[in-house]
A and B are shown apart, each in its own frame.
Chain A
Amino acid sequence: MLAKLRDPSEKALAVLLLAPAFVLLLMIVVYPIGKLVYNSLFAIDKGGAFLGLQNYIDVWQDPLFWNATQNTLLITLITVPGALLAGLALALLANLPFKRKWPVRLSLLLPWALPLSFSGLIFAWFFHTEYGVVNDILSRLGLQSEPTSWLLKPRWAFAAICLTVIWKTASFMALILLAGLQMIPKSLYEAAEVDGATPWQQFWQITLPLLLPSIVVALIFRTITALQTFDIPYTMTKGGPGEATETLAMLIHKYTIDYSDIGFGSTLAVFMFVISLAVTGVYLHHIGKNAQ
């Protein structure tokens, strides 16, 4: 027995090694998903009677759900392309032949390592109406005579949150794209140079097509995280003013934790799960295609 443990067969060893990971995945990912669906169908806090689709109908008729869905989709549609463009610009700049690489690298890593919630707090202070640096700069440049109440007006608050999300995520995007840029063979550019291609042409003919795989992967990852946006709006506006910046994740948190309405929270989570599953499907399809 002891000898067997010390040198188990390959199969036994594989099971032994993979077991902890899969037990944890079962407990914290698979079981919860089943539980969510159960919660959404039964009166979980009121005796456990079968409710059918009542929760789903309630969610469907809840204006807060539609408001949060709209905000979440808008944040995704604005910040994902925004972070891609900003990240691409940062990556192209960072790819220049610097003598010392560490200041640039550290500058790209710092926003990634900063907790989302801290970014939210810092930018809430940036966008402070009276003492914020954003209004200070805008006033000094003569772009506004009256300070803008960034976080107190629905549209401005939404814009401030989107800008914060883009700043926070563009650096990670840049790191992924930079790795892609560095894999493009230098000889291609040298050949293009010989043929008289302008930098502009080189960008469109060489850089962008060869970078496309990295861009797609970065976009899918970013889309999945954008759909879950929680920390930044929570720390900047708590979803306000009113519910102008409330996302789906915040609504789920509010119903589950603040109102202790597990059934409604679970039903909202099922909706969110389905949306994410669609994006994940696209992703898995994409890597499946690449693996072939």
Chain B
Amino acid sequence: MSMEARGIWSSPMLRWVAAGLIVINGFFPAVWILFTSLKKEVELVQKPITWWPHLPTFDNYVRAFTDQPLLSYFKNSMLVASVATVLSVLVSACAAYAIARLNLRYRQLILTCIVASSMFPLVTLLVPIFETMRALGWLNSYAALIFPYVVLNLPVCTLVLVSFFQSIPRDLENAAMIDGCTRVGALFRVVVPLAAPGVFTACILAFVNAWDEFLLALSLNSSPAVRTLPVGIALYQGEFTFPWPIISAALIVSIVPIALLIAAFQERVIGGLTQGGLKG
């Protein structure tokens, strides 16, 4: 290969084009929805369609909150995802500590069991989970979603936390125990503070998973009072004649918190995801 060709390969030009392609691929759908959410209905039905909103308006945002109980969907999502996150990370942290640190005979088998549970399609579990929740009278309640979400999050959180616990030197813990700490004491004084970044990563992954879940939320919680955002917004369709600008506004409102969360903690999220994916 000639020098010029290799020059192209490492030229800043190629980097700009590459970055442009990646950014357009990632952001275009969100940006398009943002544009749509700012258009008046008269502008929306113009042909040929406009790209940039000529008469930007926030009416759609107001209507997204007044025509539909968007605020209530938002609160439901927040509540379900937060509680599910805390419980997922608690349960996973216990299991991960045992797997990473204690003298277990079937360490690998236990980890495999937990990871393999994520391989079962959620939809096959839908029928029995639906029956169980119906029998318990838990349909249309937060608990109907929280418990399945904890199980949903268990594999990825456990994987992330196991590798974090393993990265903490055992000597630190031993030293604390020699100094008179009990094992549980050493766990809380030494391991937990050092594992905080791992716990945080697990929290973000768990939160995003719970925030995004659709099938169970649609099937178990059909009543408007307990609907989460994905279900609430998906059901806008059909209840309106032409609700695209309002749907778009509602989508933007629901995407922003998650987008901010991952923007602030990109490296952690990517680290956690690839650990969960590659180690499995």
Q: With an 8 A cutoff between CB atoms, is B151 at the interface? A: yes
Q: With an 8 A cutoff between CB atoms, is B36 at the interface? A: yes
- How far is it, in angstroms, between the C-alpha of A125 and the C-alpha of B122 when the chains are bound? 27
Given A113-B259, A133-B49, A25 and B120 touching (CB < 8 A)?
Answer: no
Question: Across the interface, do B274 and A14 meet the contact criterion of CB distance under 8 Å?
Answer: no
Interface of chain B residues 127 through 180 with chain A (CB within 8 A) = 127-132, 147-148, 150-151, 154, 158
- How far is it, in angstroms, between the C-alpha of A16 and the C-alpha of B98 when the chains are bound? 9
Which residue in chain A gives the minimum CB-CB distance to B220?
Answer: A257
| 9-residue interface stretch from A5-13, A56-64, A75-83, A153-161 | A5-13
Q: With an 8 A cutoff between CB atoms, is B116 at the interface? A: yes
Question: Across the interface, do B154 and A224 meet the contact criterion of CB distance under 8 Å?
Answer: no
- How far is it, in angstroms, between the C-alpha of A104 and the C-alpha of B84 when the chains are bound? 30
Question: Across the interface, do A28 and B280 meet the contact criterion of CB distance under 8 Å?
Answer: no
Question: Across the interface, do A121 and B95 meet the contact criterion of CB distance under 8 Å?
Answer: no
Chain A, residues 235-255, CB within 8 Å of chain B (1/0): the string is 100000000000011001100
Residues in B whose Cβ lies below 8 Å from that of A35: 127-128, 131
Question: Across the interface, do B119 and A107 meet the contact criterion of CB distance under 8 Å?
Answer: no
Chain A, residues 84-115, CB within 8 Å of chain B (1/0): the string is 00000010011011100011111111111111
Given A17-B95, A262-B127, A126 and B29 touching (CB < 8 A)?
Answer: yes
Residues in A whose Cβ lies below 8 Å from that of B26: 106-111, 171
- How far is it, in angstroms, between the C-alpha of A25 and the C-alpha of B215 when the chains are bound? 19
Chain A, residues 112-142, CB within 8 Å of chain B (1/0): the string is 1111111111110110101101001001100
Beyond A17-B95, A110-B27, list 7 extra A-B contacts (CB 8 Å).
A17-B102, A118-B255, A121-B233, A121-B251, A235-B237, A252-B127, A273-B120
Interface of chain A residues 234 through 284 with chain B (CB within 8 A) = 234-235, 248-249, 252-253, 256-257, 262, 265-266, 269-270, 272-273, 276, 279-280, 283-284
- Total interface residues on A, CB under 8 Å, equals 100
Question: Across the interface, do A256 and B130 meet the contact criterion of CB distance under 8 Å?
Answer: yes
- How far is it, in angstroms, between the C-alpha of A270 and the C-alpha of B270 when the chains are bound? 34
Question: Across the interface, do A107 and B6 meet the contact criterion of CB distance under 8 Å?
Answer: no
Which residue in chain A gives the minimum CB-CB distance to B130?
Answer: A256
Which residue in chain B gives the minimum CB-CB distance to A235?
Answer: B234
- How far is it, in angstroms, between the C-alpha of A90 and the C-alpha of B22 when the chains are bound? 7
Q: With an 8 A cutoff between CB atoms, is B104 at the interface? A: yes
Residues of A within 8 A of B (CB): 6-8, 10, 13-14, 16-18, 20-21, 24-25, 27-29, 31-33, 35-36, 39, 90, 93-94, 96-98, 102-123, 125-126, 128, 130-131, 133, 136, 139-140, 167, 171-172, 175-176, 179-180, 196, 198-199, 214, 217-218, 221, 224, 227-228, 230-231, 234-235, 248-249, 252-253, 256-257, 262, 265-266, 269-270, 272-273, 276, 279-280, 283-284, 287, 291
Given A20-B91, A21-B91, A217-B280, A136 and B131 touching (CB < 8 A)?
Answer: no
A-B contact pairs, 12 of them (CB 8 A): A13-B102, A16-B94, A25-B151, A111-B25, A113-B262, A117-B212, A224-B119, A228-B121, A231-B230, A252-B127, A256-B219, A266-B127
Residues of B within 8 A of A (CB): 1, 5-6, 9-10, 14-15, 18-19, 21-23, 25-27, 29-30, 32-33, 36, 44-45, 47-49, 51, 90-92, 94-95, 97-99, 102-104, 108, 110, 112-114, 116-117, 119-132, 147-148, 150-151, 154, 158, 182-185, 208, 211-215, 218-219, 230-231, 233-234, 237, 244, 247-248, 251, 254-255, 258-259, 261-263, 266-267, 269-270, 273-274, 277-278, 280
- How far is it, in angstroms, between the C-alpha of A13 and the C-alpha of B104 when the chains are bound? 11
- How far is it, in angstroms, between the C-alpha of A93 and the C-alpha of B9 when the chains are bound? 11
Given A96-B18, A280-B116, A21 and B270 touching (CB < 8 A)?
Answer: no
Question: Across the interface, do B48 and A284 meet the contact criterion of CB distance under 8 Å?
Answer: no
The binding surface of chain B is classed by DSSP as helix
- How far is it, in angstroms, between the C-alpha of A289 and the C-alpha of B263 when the chains are bound? 37
Which residue in chain B gives the minimum CB-CB distance to A249?
Answer: B123
Question: Across the interface, do A230 and B154 meet the contact criterion of CB distance under 8 Å?
Answer: no
Residues in A whose Cβ lies below 8 Å from that of B21: 93
The binding surface of chain A is classed by DSSP as helix
Question: Across the interface, do A21 and B262 meet the contact criterion of CB distance under 8 Å?
Answer: no
Question: Across the interface, do A110 and B277 meet the contact criterion of CB distance under 8 Å?
Answer: no
Question: Across the interface, do B19 and A98 meet the contact criterion of CB distance under 8 Å?
Answer: yes
Given A96-B18, A106-B262, A117 and B124 touching (CB < 8 A)?
Answer: no
Residues in A whose Cβ lies below 8 Å from that of B219: 253, 256-257
**Residue among B18, B154, B270, B273 making CB contact with A24, cutoff 8 Å:** B154
**Residue among A18, A107, A140 making CB contact with B95, cutoff 8 Å:** A18
10 nearest A-B residue pairs (beta carbon): A107-B26, A32-B128, A179-B274, A115-B212, A93-B18, A17-B98, A7-B182, A21-B95, A280-B119, A198-B1
Residues in A whose Cβ lies below 8 Å from that of B274: 175-176, 179
Given A25-B113, A98-B15, A228-B121, A103 and B23 touching (CB < 8 A)?
Answer: yes
- How far is it, in angstroms, between the C-alpha of A17 and the C-alpha of B266 when the chains are bound? 30
- How far is it, in angstroms, between the C-alpha of A109 and the C-alpha of B185 when the chains are bound? 38
Question: Across the interface, do B120 and A269 meet the contact criterion of CB distance under 8 Å?
Answer: no
